[in-house]
Structure formats: structure tokens, C-alpha cells
Structure 1
């Protein structure tokens, strides 16, 4: 896997004696949307933290492998330099600065980017999220859940990243707001920003992505074009809630699994 994209190669991560990721490899090409699916505890958020170099805040550490941006290793950089290199994460849970205004949250996001591009980034954010422009002087903690998620994404965009890491952006949102967030992800990508998306709403994620990976207990067990994964029996049953009763009966009878490793 080479090129100008974001590449994770044979990455292993531990939290003390607990191994959270085992030799995970994936690639996010320039201007693509790639999604990572998996159950709770499969290592999805750990993967994003390893890329953004924020693992140490949760007591984790990379024990093996590397992360490259083009031909440059970024897995040895401090978090602020990863942002400066063009990779920015939006953590799970809408972690805005609640007591600060919307405008001040956006200014905080711009601290990691080039000063020359801040006006352009702010104009982009206002176009994507007009409600934030209307509420620029309101405290972020008074926004609705969906608006706080918009602000969290907007704050990351203020650093003008080439690669945006989104961790569960629709979590806890009403379906209509989740679709608005999805539309925003599409628009961000259409403007040239690549997205690595971790999302519990698998149907939404597979619609947005061109390529998908499935993590199970810290290992990639399946990968391929998102449309092809969405058509597999195992993904349909486990992540999309579609039950093929005949296949389910066969599985119960034989004890066989339909999920096989996809060598991509």
C-alpha cells in the first residue's frame, strides 16, 4: 500500500497488558470515504486514537506497526503535529468546550492549522453549518445534540485537514439529524477532504463509503468495496439487521460461519 493517502500498516496497540489491536492494516486514499465497522469493544476508537496520536491520554500505546501520510511516518509525531500534517479527529461524544461560545470553539480548532487559511476555513464552516454562524455568540453547551455534533466537526475543519477521522458522528442523534450529518459528510468529501468513518449506523456508513473494513476483537476480518460488503450475509445479519432465515437455519444446524476473511 503506497501513495499519497493515509496508510495504517500492521498496527498493534495495547492498554497495559491488554492487546486492543493486532496487526491492523488499512488505507484511506486521497478524497475517499472509508468506513470501519465492528461491535463495541472491537477496537474502532482505538484505531482512530492511534492514528491521531491521542492514545496516551487513555493509557494506550502503539506496540508494533506504523502510520504513514504519503511517504511520511506520522506515528512518532505529537498530536499537534499530526493535525498540522493534515489529519484531524472528531472524537466520539460531541466533546465541545461547553462554556465557550461557538465562535471561540471554532477559533480553538484553527490553532492547529495554518494562519493564512483561517479565513477560508471559517467561510467553509459557515457555508456548511449556517446555524453555527447564527449562534456564534451562544455558549456551545446550550446547543442541541445535533448542533453540538456539527460544531465538533466544524471545529476540526478549521484546521483544514486533508484527512478527517470521525468517531460515531450519529451516535445518540435522532434519525433526521443523523441524515443531516451524513449529508454534511458527503459535502465535506465532495470538497476534497478524505474521511475515515467509524459509525454504529452501518447502513448509513456503507452508503457513504467506497471501501469498508470490519474489525473483530482488534483484527481486520473482512474488507472490500462497501457495496460488496453490504451484500454479504454476515454483514447483513450482524450490522444491517437483515435476516436470511434459511441461511440462519443452516448456520444453526452446521455451526458454520458465513464470514470469511476477505483478502484485499
Structure 2
């Protein structure tokens, strides 16, 4: 693996004696959308924190391996220098500054940039999210959940990242708002920003991505083109809620009870 994209190589992470990731490798080529799937506790958020160098805030540490963006190592940088190098993260749960205005939240995302760079970034996010321009003077905590997610994404974009790390952007949103967020991810990518997406709605994630990785208990269990994984019986059964109807019919005829698979999300956004 190599080139000008984001490369994670043999990354292992621990929280004290607990191993959360074991020799995980993946690549986000320049201009691509890559998704990471997996159940709760698989290590998806830990992976993003390791890339953004925010693990220490959660009591974790990288024990092996490294992360590069192009020719630059990220694993030796503090979090603010990772952002300056071109990688911004949108954490799970939005995490906006609730008592600050929308405008001040966006300014916080652009700290350290030039005046012209901040102006260009603000114009970009207002084009992507017109509602944020309309609500510039409103406290962020008074926005709806979907609007707060827009603000969290916009704040990360204010730094002008080459790679955007998105952690569960549709979590807790109504299907219509989840679709709007998905459309925005497509537009962000079309404008030249690579995206590494962790998303609990596997169907949505596989439609957005060109390549996918499946984490299980901190290790990469499957990887490949997103359309191939979407067609995989194993992925369809475990993450898309699709069952083999013929096998179910055979089981019922044999007197077995019909099994119901738990979906990650009831609505297909």
C-alpha cells in the first residue's frame, strides 16, 4: 500500500491490558470513499481515533504499526498537527459546542488557517449547508439533531481536510435526514475530499463507498470492493439483514422456528 492517500499499516491499539485493534491495515486512496463495517465493539471508532491521534483522550494508545498521509507520518503528531496535515474527524454523537453560536462553532474548526482560507471554507460549507448560514447567530444546542450533524461535518470541513473521518453520521437521525447526510457525503467527495466512513447503516455505507472493510473483534475479517461485499452472502446476512429464503423454508418444513435477524437500522436510508 502507498501513494498519496491515507494508509494504515499493521495498527494495534490497546486500552490498558485490553487489545482493541490487532494489526489492522487499510488504505483510503486519494479521492475515494472507503467504509468500515462491524458490530458494536469491533473497534471502528477506535480506528478513527488512532488515525486522528485522539486515542489518549479515551485512555487508549497505539502499541504497534503506523499511519501515513502520502509521505507524511501521522502517528507521531499531536492531534492539532494531524488536522493541519489534512485529516479531520467528525466524532460519533456530533459533539458540537452547544452554548456557542453556529458561526463560532465554524470558526473553531478553522483555527490556525489563513483569513482567505477561512473565507473560502466558510463559503463552501454554507453552499453545502445553507441552513447553517441562516442560523449563524443561533446557539448550536438549539439546532435539531440533523442540523447539529450538519454543523459537526461543516466544522470539520473548515480546516480544509484532504481526508474526512466520519464516525456514524446517520446515527439517531430520521431516514430522510440520513439520506440528506449521505447526499452531502457524495458532494464532499465529488469536490475532492477523500472520506473514511464508519456507519451503522451498512446498506447506506456500501452504496456510498468504493471499497469496504469489515472489522470483527479488532481485526479485518473481510475487505474488497464495496459492491462485491454488498453481494456477499455473509455480509448480507450479518449486516444487511438479508436471509436465504430457501433455507428458511426448508427449516420451517423440518419444524424449525423462523429466525429473525437483528438489523442495524430498521429504515434503509
Please tell me the TM-score bracket, short chain as reference. Answer: over 0.9
Q: Which residue of 2 aligns with 1:148?
A: 148
Post-superposition Cα deviations, 1:218-239, rounded to whole Å, max 9, x if no partner, equal 0001000000000001110111
Alignment of 1:1-264 (within 5 A): 1-246=1-246
Closer, same or farther in 2 for the Cα pair 1:177/1:21, shift >3 Å?
same
Q: CA deviation at 1:113?
A: 3.7
1:75 partner SS: coil
1:96, 1:178 → 2: CA distance?
A: 18
- Alignment RMSD: 1.5
**TM-score (normalizing by structure 2):** 0.91
1:46, 1:111 → 2: CA distance?
A: 25
Is the Cα–Cα contact under 8 Å of residues 37 and 212 in structure 1 kept in the other structure?
yes
Unaligned runs of 5+ in 1: 252-264
Post-superposition Cα deviations, 1:89-119, rounded to whole Å, max 9, x if no partner, equal 0000010000000000000000154443111
2:109, 2:202 → 1: CA distance?
A: 28
**TM-score (normalizing by structure 1):** 0.93
Closer, same or farther in 2 for the Cα pair 1:213/1:141, shift >3 Å?
same
Is the Cα–Cα contact under 8 Å of residues 6 and 70 in structure 1 kept in the other structure?
yes
Closer, same or farther in 2 for the Cα pair 1:200/1:30, shift >3 Å?
same
Closer, same or farther in 2 for the Cα pair 1:41/1:114, shift >3 Å?
farther
Q: CA deviation at 1:50?
A: 0.0
Q: CA deviation at 1:72?
A: 1.2
Closer, same or farther in 2 for the Cα pair 1:157/1:231, shift >3 Å?
same
Q: CA deviation at 1:71?
A: 1.4
Count residues in correspondence: 252
Unaligned runs of 5+ in 2: 252-269
Post-superposition Cα deviations, 1:42-80, rounded to whole Å, max 9, x if no partner, equal 000000000000000000000000000111111010000
2:22, 2:48 → 1: CA distance?
A: 14
Q: CA deviation at 1:245?
A: 3.3
Q: CA deviation at 1:215?
A: 0.1
